[in-house]
Every structure is written in C-alpha cells, then in structure tokens.
Amino acid sequence: MREAILALMSIEGVGPGIYRNLTEAFGSIKTALEQKRSELLRVRGMNREIAEKISRGEYQSSLERQLTWLEKNKAEYITLADSNYPEVLRQIYDAPPLLMYRGKPDPEDNIAFAVVGTRYPDEYGKLMAQRIAEGIAERDICIISGMARGIDTAAHIAALNRGARSIAVLGTPLDRIYPAENRALYQKITAQGWICSEIPIGYPHVPANFIRRNRIISGLSRGVVVIQAGSKSGAIVTALNANEQNRDVFAVPGDCLRARHAGCHRLIRLGAKLVESAEDVLCEYPFLKDRLSGQKDCFAEAARRIQLGREEELVLQCLDREAVYIDKIYEYCKLNRSEVMKALLGLEIKGYVQRLKGDYYRREI
C-alpha cells in the first residue's frame, strides 16, 4: 500500500486531488494502479496523460529511482495511509499524500509554531525572528519554516541554538538543497529535527512548488508568526493557508513607511494577532501553561481572550475528561458532520480538546 502511494505520487501532475478521487473511486491506490485507462478516465479530475502513464505502468522507473535514492541517502517516506503520519497535518483539506523526509519526526512535533517572512530582512527583522523563535524554542517547542534565506533561516538557527527541534518544509525535492548556502543548516536540521518535501526526487526546480509547500508549513503548525512580509510575500500565502486551516495567525508590526512591513500590517487589519514577543504567542494557548512557569497572569488573560464559536461551544459541552467516541459527539450535539469536525479541530488547536486514537476525544480544560 505504501509503495503504491509512492508510485502514484511519482507521476508528474498527480496531487492530493487525484489521490483523493482515486481512493474514493477504487478503495485503494494499489487497486487504482491496476485499472485500465478507460476506467481511470471516469475519475473526476483525471486527464489522458496521467491515465496513460498509470495504465501502462510508466511510473515504475520513477518509483525505482525514488526507492534507490531513499535507501542510499538514509531517507524515509510517510503516507496518509500510515498511522504515524502527523495528525495535525492529516486534518487539513489537501494534506500531502506523501512526504519524503530526512531526520526523525517526533510525536512532540504535534505542538509546533511556524515563523516565516521575507528573504531579505533588515536587522530589525532578523532580531525579531531570533527573539520570537528563541522564546518559543526555550520552552522545548518545535519551530517550523521553509529553510529559505532571511527570516526562515534566522528562525531555524534560533531554534537549533536553543537545543529545540526544527522542521524545514522544502519547495524542492530532498536531493536539491535550496538555497545552496544552507547546506550546513540542512544537515543540522536533519540531526535535530527533520526536513521534508512532497516533491519526488529528481523533479525540476519549479517556483509554484514553493507556494504549494506553504500549506504544509501552516498545516504542521498550531500557529504561524509572520515577520517582515511585503504585500506579495510568500509568507502571506502561508498566513492565508493557516487561516483556511483554522490555525492562528500572528504578525509582528513594523515601520509603516517601509513596504517590507505592508503584508504584516494587512494581516493585522484582517484579524491577525499583533505580537511583539514569544510570550504574546504562547499565552494564546492555555494548554502550554506548564511550559511557562511564572506566567499565570498571562494565561488568565488569554483564557478570557479566547473566543469560541457557537459550534465550538456546543461541542465542548458534549465532552468531559473521559474519552468520547466521535459518533456520540454527533448524537449529542445535533450538528452535521462537517460542523462537528470543524469545531473539534478548532478546539484541539486552541487546547481545549485532545484527539485520541480511534476517533475518541477528551476535554482538556
């Protein structure tokens, strides 16, 4: 099953949509790869070129290349069919069916924050990225970014220097380090966290892939901190993805006369939380209270500040300290499936609810 998913995702042009539609149509990717072209063309979103490659087994050479490189470079891959796929990422709509990675994922990475921003920061931007990333990392919380120049690099280095874990999500395959100047950083993150990409080995450098990877950065995080981003910055795309995924968005303000802060100010106008320090971020999450000793007043204020939606309130009332199965929640709340799932995701991110194995949920606060 895992190798079938790797084979499918090795075909150029296949993404989460086709993966999802093939799974719905045939029950499994393994079965989908055995279908004739005529059957494949019945699947929503399928085109003739991809159907032809599947029906003729033209993915085999690419699959062998992926497996050979992974083994040679001591890398791994994980799929949506695997139980150890990151749960926080699994919950987004277009979760990557496949992630290739180097390093070692950890269940603790389920609590992590993204720090993103411009590739060309000034000293203020670098300092704020360092202060905020270090402040979060000091609580042994993972920092996520895209390993680009500028703010991304500063955030990764700050986390590593504090002995915390860090995750880099690449817009290139694992075999292409970009920018090349970050080769040493690549190795450090691999040793102290993990580096991942949904792009198969050997694929060309395509600018659009850097935009697509931003949904993974936000999808792996509890919240996204944006520092020094212009109005057209890729960091703004990450923030918009975070908003769609029901993650929190934080923005650091700056000089109103400088264009490199325009994106952050726009996010603040749209409802992003204005932050000046790591504490401003972490105080939004009551479940992190134990990691912030001496910050009781901060958390009391945060608890008052967090606003729950109507559906979130209804779902929370249905839960207690004992695990409750998802079907019981549907029954108690009298809400439809999509409303319940959206509310549960929001409550989990805000720290009110913990998701357990087997679709059980438990109230935390």
Best CA proximity match to 201, nearest among 85, 32, 50, 75:
75
- Domain at 2-72, CATH homologous superfamily: 5' to 3' exonuclease, C-terminal subdomain (1.10.150.20)
Phi and psi, residue 224, nearest 5°: -120, 125
Quote the CA–CA distance of 80 and 174 in Å, as a whole number: 19
Classify domain 310-363 by CATH architecture: Orthogonal Bundle (1.10)
Quote the CA–CA distance of 32 and 2 in Å, as a whole number: 13
**What 3-state DSSP class applies to 144?**
strand
Quote the CA–CA distance of 4 and 32 in Å, as a whole number: 9
Do 136 and 166 touch, CB atoms closer than 8 A?
no
Best CA proximity match to 81, nearest among 3, 139, 26, 181:
3
Q: What is the DSSP letter of 113?
A: E
Q: What is the DSSP string of 303-355?
A: HHH----HHHHHHHHT--SS-EEHHHHHHHH---HHHHHHHHHHHHHTTSEEE
Whole-model pTM? 0.80
The pLDDT tens digits for 152-180 are 999 999 999 999 999 999 999 999 999 99
Q: Could you read off the pLDDT tens digit of each residue along the chain, which spans 365 residues? A: 799 999 999 998 899 999 999 999 999 999 999 999 999 999 998 999 999 999 998 889 999 999 999 999 999 999 999 999 999 999 898 999 999 999 999 988 999 999 999 999 999 999 999 999 999 999 999 999 999 999 999 999 999 999 999 999 999 999 999 999 999 999 999 999 999 999 999 888 888 999 999 999 999 999 999 999 888 888 999 999 999 998 999 999 988 877 788 999 999 999 999 999 999 999 888 777 666 554 444 544 444 445 678 888 888 888 877 888 888 888 888 788 888 888 888 887 777 888 887 788 888 76
Q: What is the DSSP letter of 247?
A: -
Classify domain 103-279 by CATH architecture: 3-Layer(aba) Sandwich (3.40)
**What 3-state DSSP class applies to 76?**
strand
Quote the CA–CA distance of 207 and 166 in Å, as a whole number: 24
* Same fold? 2-72, 310-363: no
What torsion, rounded to 10 degrees, do the Cα atoms 19, 23, 29, 30 define?
-170
Q: Which H or E element spans position 169?
A: strand 166-169
The whole-number pLDDT of residue 193 equals 97
Q: For the chain, how far is it from start to end, CA to CA, in angstroms? A: 39
Q: How many CB atoms lie within 10 A of CB 242?
A: 28
The whole-number pLDDT of residue 321 equals 75
Asked if the peptide bond before residue 179 counts as cis, ω within 30 degrees of 0, the response is yes
Strand order in the sheet with 98-103: 76-79, 98-103, 193-197, 166-169, 142-145, 112-117, 223-227, 248-252, 273-274
* Domain regions of the chain by residue span: 2-72, 103-279, 310-363
* Dihedral sign from CA coordinates of 351, 353, 354, 359: negative
The whole-number pLDDT of residue 303 equals 47
Quote the CA–CA distance of 284 and 306 in Å, as a whole number: 7
